[in-house]
Amino acid sequence: FNHLFGSKICAEIQSMTRDLIKRVVNGASDIFWEIPVQVELQRKSSPPVDGRVPRLVSYVTYYCNQLLGCKYRPVLTQILEIHQGWKQEKYQGELLNSQVYYTLKEIALNLDSWSKAYHNIALSYLFMTNNHSHFYNLRVTQLGKMMGDSWITAHEKYRDYYAALYLSESWGKLAAFLNQQETEAADVASARARNIDESVKRRLKAFNDAFDKMYEQQSSWVISDEILRLNMCQLVVKTLVPAYRTYLQDCAVLLEEDAGNGKYLRYTDKHIMTMLCSLFQPKLMKQRSTKSTHFVGKIKGLVTNHFHLTLAAP
């Protein structure tokens, strides 16, 4: 630039260009320093109603990861060096990393605040599962490499921890309800002579109503990451379906009286499994898919060696 526009006749161009460079350096530096502040300002906003990863989280982590990449890091480093020099301050080599770290710290504080804003505790746990999975998935990115293995491992553990809490708080309670009725259902063999035990009918109706309510509620909840969604659906199925299947076997006499008219047996175990496998899908996926057969097949054939969850939270 100096070679092409170094003459006095180009003084106006030189002045305008220097002003432009000054604006770019100051503007880029201001944005860089403002990131954690802007994240903090969003803390009082409401979390996503469906429990998904907030746009702020996905956008800021993507933005920080781009800043750390080989395409932008050298340019940003040069800008910060120039800006610090103008202020008569020495550029610190870890300045970029430190600012990204502070930004992630503010995001973590936001997540903690947002999780407490949910009135449904199960949705709060699913929200935290989503977000810790999001951070764990950054392990192969520049951002993940900067934060280190211990940071990634911590998010993996918290993902599993909150997933276990979610299962225990929601479908685990429904499975426990069925297990509590096994002793009552064992006496159903003599129910035919008593025109079917009324308590067993009430219990099955109570389960059906509770299942309908929980399914309707959670059908609008979202897990955007496909692998996490597959695994969570699989775990929900493992939590509820075996208990339901056992209960139906114990209520065989009752089901014979039902004679397939759906008076007592609202769902078969396969029907419930299909419904559970349709959970957590983003709205666009729900619109495109009219059947969950493919999704069920994925769950049945899914290898889960690299995603271990316990049903009891630590």
Domain with residues 170-300, CATH architecture: Up-down Bundle (1.20)
Tell me the CA distances in angstroms from 99 to 32, 35, 103, 273, 309, one per residue in order.
8, 8, 6, 47, 33
pLDDT value, residue 149: 97
pLDDT recorded at residue 152? 97
User: Rounded to 10 degrees, what is the CA torsion of 151, 156, 159, 163?
Assistant: -160
pLDDT at 89: 83
44 class by beta-carbon count within 10 Å (0-12 exposed, 13-18 middle, 19+ buried):
exposed
Tokens 């810790």 found at: 132
What pLDDT score does 66 carry? 95
Token pair of 201 as six digits: 């009918």
Q: What is the DSSP letter of 278?
A: T
User: For residue 269, what is the enclosing H or E element?
Assistant: helix 269-276
Furthest CA-CA distance within the chain: 111
DSSP string, 194-218: GTS-HHHHHHHHHHHHHHHHHHHHH
DSSP readout, 208-267? HHHHHHHHHHHTT----SHHHHHHHHHHHHHHHHHHHHHHHHHTHHHHHHHTTSSSS---
Residue pair 211/174 in contact (Cβ under 8 Å)? The answer is yes
CA geometry: angle at 104 spanning 59 and 169, to 5°? Answer: 85
- Closest-CA residue to 180 (of 246, 273, 264, 265): 246
- 237 is written with which tokens? 């199925």
Name the CA dihedral angle for 44, 48, 51, 56, rounded to a multiple of 10 degrees: -80
Q: Where are the domains of the chain?
A: 2-119, 170-300
Q: Are 220 and 279 in contact (CB under 8 A)?
A: no
pLDDT tens, N- to C-terminus, the chain (314 residues): 777 787 888 888 888 988 998 999 999 999 999 999 999 999 999 999 999 999 999 999 999 999 999 999 999 999 999 998 998 888 777 899 999 999 999 999 999 999 999 999 999 999 999 999 999 999 999 999 999 999 999 999 999 999 999 999 999 999 998 877 655 555 554 544 454 567 777 888 889 999 999 999 999 999 999 999 999 999 999 999 999 998 888 776 666 665 555 566 788 899 999 999 999 999 765 544 444 444 444 434 433 333 444 333 43
How many C-beta atoms lie closer than 10 Å to residue 276's C-beta?
Answer: 26
Whole-structure pTM value: 0.83
Q: What are phi and psi of 304, to 5 degrees?
A: -110, 20
